[in-house]
Amino acid sequence: MKGGDLFAFAIGALRGHRLRTSLSVAGVAVGISAVVALTALGDGARAYVVREFTSLGSNLLIVIPGKVETTGAIPFGGVTHDLTVADARSIAMRVPGAVRVAPIAVATEAVHWEDRSRSVPILGVTAAYQRVRHVTVASGRFLHTTMAEGGGQELVLGAKAAHELFRGANPLGRIVRAGAWRFRVVGVMAPKGRSLGFDFDDLVFIPVKTAMRMFNRTSLFRILVEVPSADELGPVKRRVIRLLAQRHRADDVTVITQDAVLSAFSSILGVLTLALAGLASVSLSVAGVGIMNVMLVAVSERRREIGILKALGATNGQVLGVFLAEAVVLSTTGGLLGLAAGAAGVRVFVALYPSFPASPPVWSIAAAMGVAIAVGVGFGVWPARRATRLDPVTALRGR
């Protein structure tokens, strides 16, 4: 019996039992689409975090006041020395490989224009911030503040903050108020979107020293240090730590690199994806048990057919081959439908949440299809094995 004939016969048999066939196909399809959708979400979450982190700049060192034991965790604990603009200047001047240095101070404050006001995060920065964080200005210009001067009463609006305050009016050259201070708007940022839960459009920038005075702060929030390449992260990090230890006479800052945070997140999310895949394979096994039930019924209903085939000279192997072919057809059809359904589901999800890069990883598709076929064949052929070994009369009695 040739392969083509075998499959033609198997497909004929499957079409003869539409309900049963569609039930088992549906079972496999549901299992596969679950695998595809869940791993797509898990992998999407990982890709999302990786992308967000790399968008922050992958050649960045982040200097944080205070000492924490493990890098990669959010630092907290007693701050012994302030991290100052002078520290940042010193890094820029004395650490080889510190290409750009951007000090940042942060506080939230209401910004007023005419009768409107909006409470937004105010970032105290220097001109270097724009280059280090790759942000672009939509109109006007960014701050010209340097670390040497660092003051002034200029302000740059984030895209959303500009829209909310000015409602279409041109903000450039206007005077806005923040607390007791007055600022002249010199620029509006291009939209950047949300990143890691923070809205980079709903904020304003002012010169860093002005910000420290206005917030009554002595310490920076952090200092970003750009290095020429990822290879230099390590050496530059050590130099920065040594320099600040000298200046503070204590080892009281934390320097983290993006990739340390990134790899921690990435491995956590990798585990998440695996867990989702595990969950999905449970549903796949349930589908397998479904196939087995359907096949058990099929085999007992078709004992007579097995008897007829054997009476006509089919060997045990050939009869088993028929059931095997049926199981393969069932599980591949179910698998392909499941892939299609899962992919469609992921598409809908991406359409609803465009910033979430959900796509099923190739390994999960391959594994899901492999498992579907293995499950279908294993569970499908096993019940047939016994029936094919019977003497034709025993099978023909159909009991």
Contact status: 154 vs other proteins (CB under 8 A): no
Confirm or reject binding of residue 301 to other proteins (CB under 8 A). no
Among 147, 314, 330, 346, binds other proteins (CB under 8 A): 314
Of 78 and 313, CB closest to other proteins? 313
Q: Which of 128, 309, 329, 381 binds other proteins (CB under 8 A)?
A: 309
Residue type for position 209: K
CB 207 within 8 A of CB 143: yes
Comparing CB distances to other proteins, the nearer of 114 and 391 is 391
Q: Given the rule CB under 8 A, which of 1-9, 237-245, 292-300, 356-364 is the region that contacts other proteins?
A: 1-9
- Look up residue 348 and give its two tokens: 């809908």
Distances in Å between the alpha carbon of 123 and those of 13, 103, 133, 215?
Answer: 71, 10, 13, 11
Residues 6+ apart with CB under 8 A from 216: none
Could you say which of 180, 312, 352, 362 contacts other proteins (CB under 8 A)? Answer: 312
In whole angstroms, the minimum distance from the beta carbon of 20 to other proteins comes to 13
Asked whether position 304 contacts other proteins by CB under 8 A, the answer is yes
**16 binds other proteins per the rule CB under 8 A:** yes
Helix (H) or strand (E) segment spanning residue 308: helix 303-311
User: Quick check: 190 binds other proteins (CB under 8 A)?
Assistant: no
Does residue 397 bind other proteins (CB under 8 A)?
no
CB of 382 to other proteins, least distance (A): 19
Which whole-number Å values give the CA distances from 243 to 16, 70, 119, 226, in the listed order?
81, 20, 37, 16
Nearer of residues 23 and 336 to other proteins, judged by Cβ:
23
Alpha-carbon torsion angle 385, 389, 392, 396, nearest 10 = -40
Residues 316-355 that bind other proteins (CB under 8 A): 316-318
Question: Residues touching other proteins: how many (CB under 8 A)?
Answer: 28
According to the binding rule CB under 8 A, does residue 393 interact with other proteins? yes
At residue 230, what is the residue type?
A: A
By the rule CB under 8 A, 60 interacts with other proteins? no
Query: Rounded to whole angstroms, how far apart are CA atoms 268 and 209?
Result: 39
Residue 60 burial (10 A CB sphere; 0-12, 13-18, 19+): buried
- Nearest 5°: CA angle at 178, between 177 and 179? 115
What is d(CA 289, CA 312) in angstroms, rounded to the nearest whole number?
32
Closer residue to other proteins in complex, CB, 170/315: 315
- Pinpoint the alpha helices (H) of 56-149: 85-94, 128-132
Q: Report how far residue 118's alpha carbon sits from residue 365's, in angstroms, rounded to the nearest whole number.
A: 48
Per-residue contact track with other proteins, 161 to 180, x per CB under 8 A? --------------------
Q: Does 125 bind other proteins (CB under 8 A)?
A: no
Q: How far is the CB of 308 from other proteins (least distance, A)?
A: 5
Q: Which residue stretch of 244-252, 282-290, 313-321, 371-379 sits at the interface with other proteins (rule: CB under 8 A)?
A: 313-321
Question: What are the residues binding other proteins (CB under 8 A)?
Answer: 1-2, 5, 9, 12-13, 15-16, 304-305, 307-318, 389, 391-394, 396
